[in-house]
Structure 1
């Protein structure tokens, strides 16, 4: 098993490499369901005009742009450690006319360059399982969200019932890396995704980490038999 520094370096190399085909592969490997999961998440978030958001591991910025659109002018920041991902995201932001509202930052989700109590929402989409220290990241998300604000994680998860569990793991571990090889010539990079899920907490364990970090009213919603999940928690009114 890789240590934290090795994992951080490896993940960075993976995402720098797959950035140009990242959106295409997301559609292929999730059968486009990731977009429906994000729409469900946005409904649960219930963003109001003028509210601010920080989108961690923002990648090519699809969720960042959706947050900006929903907030109707609210401050929106996207953070990612991959320069290649951010360049693709910036092109989208510019094309859609959100450059005055959305700020993109290259940075580390475990050491956020923002003041305490800065955002109404802090989100992370399909990125938490790639970060070496999940608890440290959750604490940072809680630190920078405002009292009463929401911490939101949308990510892959682990089905628990058979035979679907076996079918899913066969697809995730054997078939999906082949898709990477066939469609984007990145077999080794897409082998990382099942590896990243192996040590990632399941639905209930991640919900418990939210609670242990001090979040309140924690809710977890599984998708499609548990292949993905939404976790949401609220920061209390204490001042960090």
Structure 2
């Protein structure tokens, strides 16, 4: 990241530039594992039909559209992202699935200050984006605030392998090989160099569990995926949980 540029500005620049190549590169760089991780996440959250769902940092919309299918015709899903170029790609995908158009809404906005009232959603999710935000705890508190008491907050994110030999091999790939693949396949070496950079200071799985609890969530559980290179975290807002912030200001 360039000196004098904030994390938010840098992330916006990165994803604006790679928006149209984002899906291809996700598949290439994760060896198609991200699709399997999302299926596992859907199994764990057990989303009911008719639910109101918020997908934070929705990106190009694959997970948002999967959620829309799960909630059925009586449900509603909002995908929020601060990068217009990513949402433009997501909207093209949505209109290729006409049955979902009436149950999905895109909003350009900030995960650090969600423009929604307290207790508005049954579920709030964030996928492969929590490591990119300026402050993890602030985003999780915002997600907790907008979820109804008893609702769930979910993060699916890259993580750090816990077995040292595998971690060493993975880090070599992630820090040395991945940016080179990004440059070769997408002409975006500088942008894909951000992926390992973004993970360096991101908390490992068990530390992120604790941050979930600090955000006001209970029944927190996490699952290491594919040797720990990704992790699913799930927490529930307490039935009598105090909200964070003033609903009247959102």
Separation of aligned partners in 1, 2:219 and 2:81? 28
Which residue of structure 2 lines up, in the alignment, with residue 171 of structure 1? 173
TM-score, normalised by the number of residues in structure 1: 0.97
* 2:128 is the counterpart of 1:120: no
Separation of aligned partners in 1, 2:71 and 2:226? 28
When residues 110 and 5 of structure 1 are mapped into structure 2, their CA distance, relative to the original with a 3 A threshold, is farther
Structure 1 alignment gaps of length 5 or more: none
Q: Deviations over 1:25-55 (max 9, x none)?
A: 0000000000000000001010111011100
Q: Deviations over 1:49-93 (max 9, x none)?
A: 101110011000000000000000211000001100000000101
Which residue of structure 2 lines up, in the alignment, with residue 6 of structure 1? 6
TM-score, normalised by the number of residues in structure 2: 0.94
Which residue of structure 2 lines up, in the alignment, with residue 137 of structure 1? 139
* 2:188 is the counterpart of 1:190: no
Compute the displacement of 1:231 (Å): 0.2
Which residue of structure 1 lines up, in the alignment, with residue 246 of structure 2? none
Compute the displacement of 1:4 (Å): 10
Compute the displacement of 1:236 (Å): 0.5
SS state at 2:234 partner: strand
When residues 231 and 3 of structure 1 are mapped into structure 2, their CA distance, relative to the original with a 3 A threshold, is farther
- Residue 4 of structure 1 contacts residue 133 of structure 1 at CA under 8 Å; is this kept in 2? no
* Deviating 4+ runs (over 2 angstroms): 1-5
Which residue of structure 1 lines up, in the alignment, with residue 239 of structure 2? 237
* 2:79 is the counterpart of 1:47: no
* 2:94 is the counterpart of 1:93: yes
Compute the displacement of 1:5 (Å): 6.6
- Residue 158 of structure 1 contacts residue 228 of structure 1 at CA under 8 Å; is this kept in 2? yes
- Residue 4 of structure 1 contacts residue 132 of structure 1 at CA under 8 Å; is this kept in 2? no
Which residue of structure 2 lines up, in the alignment, with residue 205 of structure 1? 207
Structure 2 alignment gaps of length 5 or more: 244-250
* 2:159 is the counterpart of 1:157: yes
Which residue of structure 1 lines up, in the alignment, with residue 248 of structure 2? none
Separation of aligned partners in 2, 1:175 and 1:55? 30
Which residue of structure 1 lines up, in the alignment, with residue 78 of structure 2? 77
When residues 45 and 10 of structure 1 are mapped into structure 2, their CA distance, relative to the original with a 3 A threshold, is same
Compute the displacement of 1:160 (Å): 2.0
Compute the displacement of 1:2 (Å): 7.5
Compute the displacement of 1:162 (Å): 2.4
- Output the aligned Cα RMSD: 1.3
